[in-house]
Copies of this chain bind each other. A is one copy, B any other.
Amino acid sequence: MGKGEATRERILEIAEAAVLAKGFGATSIEEVIAEAGLTKSGFFYHFRDKNALAREMLRRYVETNDRLFDDVFARGRQLSDDPLQAFLISLKLLAEVMADLPNGHPGCLIASICYQERLFDREVRDLTAQSVRGWNARFCKILEGIAAAYPPREAIDLDDLADMLSCVVDGGIIMSKTLNDPRRLERQILLFRNYVKLLFAPAALS
């Protein structure tokens, strides 16, 4: 990693924290560069304008989350051959990861952008939509594998159920932040997990 790339990464890290705490519009470039220890000229050397910063932040965020999901769901499959058990394990791991964050989850950048949509260009908005669609499709594929092995107790739309995981996480983050209680996010994920168990697990197992 060259020196320039390291600086870019530092700027993005600082900017992301600031944006999640105050919103994009209220995050001044000046405070970011002050914390990063460079000048305004230095900033504009790396990013053409504020929107370019947003694009890179988002790209970085999506990439990080993708890796997290890769990791969590791979470990689930690794610990059990049964698709349902693997998913339940993965959800527990996900809940643990969220619970282990020192100061609670810092916030979902997609949610932050969603509530400031008019500030961003089409490219950014398309990237948020595409990411969410990707995550939902990923969850849905897992659920289809489960449903094939375990007929669900009720006729449920698997797409909606896949959506629900994202919704519960985003909602859990908001509630955790608003009430200043990080554990609420973990509990919401576990509650969703219980829903999945209730839907698919045969009565004998529950």
Identify the A interface with B (CB < 8 A).
20-27, 107, 110-112, 114-119, 128-129, 132-133, 153-154, 156-157, 160-161, 163-164, 166-172, 174-175, 177-180, 184, 187-188, 190-192, 194-195, 198-199, 206
**24 A-B interface contacts by CB (under 8 A):** A23-B23, A23-B24, A23-B26, A23-B115, A25-B25, A25-B26, A26-B26, A110-B174, A111-B111, A111-B115, A112-B115, A115-B177, A117-B177, A129-B179, A129-B180, A132-B178, A156-B191, A157-B187, A160-B184, A160-B190, A164-B171, A167-B168, A168-B168, A170-B171
Q: How far is the CB of A37 from chain B (nearest CB, A)?
A: 21
Tell me the bound Cα distance from A135 to B189 in angstroms: 20
| Top-8 shortest CB links A-B | A25-B26, A167-B171, A171-B171, A23-B116, A25-B25, A170-B171, A22-B118, A23-B23
Tell me the bound Cα distance from A133 to B179 in angstroms: 8
Considering residues A112, A175, A177, A199, which has the most beta carbons from chain B within 10 angstroms of its beta carbon?
A175
Q: How far is the CB of A176 from chain B (nearest CB, A)?
A: 9
Inside 8 A of A178's CB, which chain B residues have their CB?
A: 110, 114, 128-129, 132
Q: How far is the CB of A184 from chain B (nearest CB, A)?
A: 6
| CB–CB B167/A188 < 8 A | yes
Inside 8 A of A191's CB, which chain B residues have their CB?
A: 156-157, 160-161, 164
| CB–CB B111/A194 < 8 A | no
Tell me the bound Cα distance from A133 to B190 in angstroms: 20
| CB–CB A163/B177 < 8 A | no
Of B128, B132, B180, B195, which is within 8 A of A195 by CB?
A: B195
| CB–CB A115/B110 < 8 A | no
Tell me the bound Cα distance from A114 to B170 in angstroms: 12
Inside 8 A of A184's CB, which chain B residues have their CB?
A: 160, 163
Inside 8 A of A195's CB, which chain B residues have their CB?
A: 195, 198
